[in-house]
Amino acid sequence: MAQVQQPKTSSSSPLTPTTSGQDTPPHKAHPHPNYVGIWVFLAVLTAAELTVAFLPWHKNVIIALLLGMALWKAALVGLYYMHLRFETRRIVILALGPLPLCVILVAAVATEFFW
């Protein structure tokens, strides 16, 4: 009698359906980043922002520095606290997908004011 080949599903696969029909979350696939070190860095960047904001420099320089530091902090949170650095490509695409739409949205609204 021919044996029916069962689908090969590894019991250790992180998304193997359970008996309840639900997926289980992935086990830790990477070592923990230095979360406290990142927190210290975020705090230092915040202190630097507070200093730069009140320096007697040209306003455009201050704005560029502040936006640069804010984006740096946001990237650290996204990459390490939200684990985008370690996620699958699909999740990264899903996370970054709205950004081009954001540019289109702001550009569309800007045309109402400036053109």
Partner 1 sequence: MAHAALTHHDVMQPPPDRAMGSGVYTEKLGMWIFLGSEVMFFTALIGTYIILRIAHPSSWKPPGVVLNVPVTATNTFLLICSSVTMVKAFAAVQDGLLSALRRWLIATVVIGASFVGIQVYEYTHLIEKGFVPSEGLYGSTFYAMTGFHGFHVTIGVLCMIFVTVRAFQGKYTAQDHRGVEVIGLYWHFVDLVWIILFTIVYLI
Task: Give me the residues that bind partner 1 (CB under 8 A), please.
Answer: 1-4, 6-9, 13, 15-17, 22-28, 32, 35-36, 38-39, 42-43, 46, 49-50, 53-54, 62-63, 66-67, 69-70, 73-74, 77-78, 80-82, 88, 90-91, 94-95, 97-99, 101-102, 105-106, 109-110, 113-114
For residue 79, how many C-alpha atoms fall within 13 Å in the half-sphere facing its CB? 12
Measure the CA–CA gap between 111 and 103, rounded to whole angstroms: 12
Q: How far is the CB of 49 from partner 1 (least distance, A)?
A: 6
Which of 77, 75, 79, 85 has the alpha carbon at shortest distance from 29? 85
CB of 60 to partner 1, least distance (A): 11
Rounded to a whole number of angstroms, the minimum distance from the CB of residue 64 to partner 1 is: 10
Q: Which one-letter DSSP state was computed for residue 77? A: I
Report how far residue 59's alpha carbon sits from residue 62's, in angstroms, rounded to the nearest whole number: 5
State the minimum distance, in angstroms, from the CB of residue 58 to partner 1.
13
